[in-house]
Amino acid sequence: MKVIVSGAAGRMGRAILESLYDEDELELGAALEKKGHPVIKKDVGELIGIGSWGVSVSTFSKKTMASGAAFIDFTYPQGTIQMLEEAEAQGKAMVIGTTGFTADQLGRIESAAEKIPIVLSPNMSIGVNVLYRLIQEASAALGSAYDVEIVEIHHRLKKDAPSGTAIRMGEVLAAARGTTLQQSGRFTRQGNIGVRPVGEIGIQSLRAGDIVGEHTMTFAGPGERIELTHRAHNRNNFARGALMAAQWLVNQKPGLYDMMDVLNLK
């Protein structure tokens, strides 16, 4: 099966290409970058230090979108929506790892999922998706007697905050508590804020250095606290998850899925 990788020169794009090169069941159909990018027309192998792969980096077009059965996108929200239009028109399965979407953009993705299968996941790591399951179980056992704080740390170049993974952690917890993150989330604290409300879900973001990604959810109760932490040592785990999602997705009916569906964790 051939896949199309968008954002080929980015951190995640290169990690996906490295993992794809070692795959036996998947092939590279096209590697895409935005117009004017210096890697356009270069051999993809040069991006990952393997010499020649025989596929050149190209720009988004109807022709390049037709060169694979599944499309993997780690770019930026506006670019994702543009490519979503063509994926929908051609009936392509689409794996979306981009974060930072507006409500309107998420609505557009949901609309497209009525016609094509889409995996939308802020984090394709197997470990992070197991973490979501652990959050559900911890919430069921501990209830609202334990205050919850989420702290996420990423490299200094990450543009959106909080991370999509931190938001998803908060959403999973809120759903387990019978509420929503919009109702219970607290994203900043400053000044005389008063006593912490019962059931509040705090989310804090740190940006520094070259940290790949770290997420911790703390359950703090009377006389004790429990911490659930995931640390990414590199991007290979995300890349492997994205390729796994693409293989799984081409056999699914139109709909909006996430990695917990892919991993059968629901």
Same domain (yes/no): 82, 209: no
What's the rounded Cα separation, in Å, for the pair 98 and 159? 12
Residue 163: predicted pLDDT: 94
Whether 116 and 65 share a structural domain:
yes
Residue 191 CA to its chain's centroid (Å): 33
Residues 94 and 130 in one domain: no
Structure confidence at residue 62 (pLDDT): 87
Counted domains in the chain: 2
Is the pLDDT assigned to residue 154 strictly greater than 90? yes
Which CATH number is 54's domain given? 3.40.50.720
Model pLDDT, residue 65: 85
User: Is the pTM of the predicted complex or chain greater than 0.85?
Assistant: no
Distance CA 52, CA 42 (A): 10
Which percentage of the chain shows pLDDT scores above 70? 100
pLDDT bracket for residue 122 (50, 70, 90): confident
> Taking each helix axis from N to C terminus, what angle separates 236-249 and 126-142, rounded to the nearest 10 degrees?
90
The sheet that has 201-207: what strands, in order across it?
A: 185-186, 201-207, 147-154, 213-221, 224-232
77/202 same-domain check: no
pLDDT in tens, 226-257: 999 999 998 889 999 999 999 999 999 999 99
Catalytic residue among 158, 159, 215, 230: 158
| Known catalytic membership, residue 42 | no
- Element (DSSP H or E) covering residue 204: strand 201-207
Tokens 């989330």, residue located: 185
Domain of residue 204: give its range.
126-232
Q: What is the Cα–Cα distance from 52 to 56, expressed in whole angstroms?
A: 9
**CA-wise closest residue to 31 among 13, 57, 54, 52:** 57
Looking at 92, 154, 215, 230, which residue is catalytic? 154
Angle at 152 between CA 147 and CA 153, to 5 degrees: 145
